[in-house]
């Protein structure tokens, strides 16, 4: 299990999410869990542009092998935010199909 933010993950989030997030668009980090433990087996950036479709835009290789908590910390360290529940927990969208997929919307911080 991961015990911290891997080297390079913060930089990849800054570069790859920053490339796709815009004031009117949306970007998310999306990953599937490994079958053998609580870490991500895949990690990707998904995004929209205003008026465009929602979909995969690029892999986030440094996210493979991290926990969801590590990903949350890396997103904050990279200078972004994400939606929180009323209990101040991250709003991970969970999809169950062939695998379990977790998606966390990433926002620019409020000015």
> What pLDDT score does 77 carry?
94
Q: Where are the domains of the chain?
A: 9-106
How far is residue 66's CA from residue 14's CA, in Å, rounded to a whole number?
A: 17
Name the pLDDT band for 39 (thresholds 50, 70, 90). Answer: very high
Residue 55 contacts residue 44 (beta carbons within 8 Å):
no
Q: What is the pLDDT of residues 73-91, one digit of tens each?
A: 999 999 999 999 999 999 9
- Please tell me the distance from the alpha carbon of residue 16 to that of residue 27, in angstroms, as a whole number: 10
Q: In the numeric block, which tokens belong to residue 107? A: 């926002």
Distance CA(95)–CA(50), nearest Å, equals 24
Question: pTM to 2 decimals?
Answer: 0.87
Calculate ∠ Cα 17-14-28, nearest 5°. 25
């Amino acid at each position: 299990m991961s015990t911290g933010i891997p080297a390079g993950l913060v930089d990849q989030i800054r570069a790859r999410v920053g490339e796709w997030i815009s004031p009117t668009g949306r970007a998310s980090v999306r990953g599937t869990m490994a079958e053998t433990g609580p870490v991500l087996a895949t990690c990707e950036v998904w995004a929209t542009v205003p008026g465009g479709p929602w979909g995969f835009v690029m892999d986030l290789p440094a996210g493979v092998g991290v926990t969801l908590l590590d990903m949350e910390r890396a997103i904050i360290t990279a200078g972004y935010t994400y939606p929180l529940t009323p209990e101040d927990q991250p709003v991970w969208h969970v999809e169950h199909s062939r695998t379990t997929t977790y998606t966390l919307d990433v926002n620019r911080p409020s000015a």
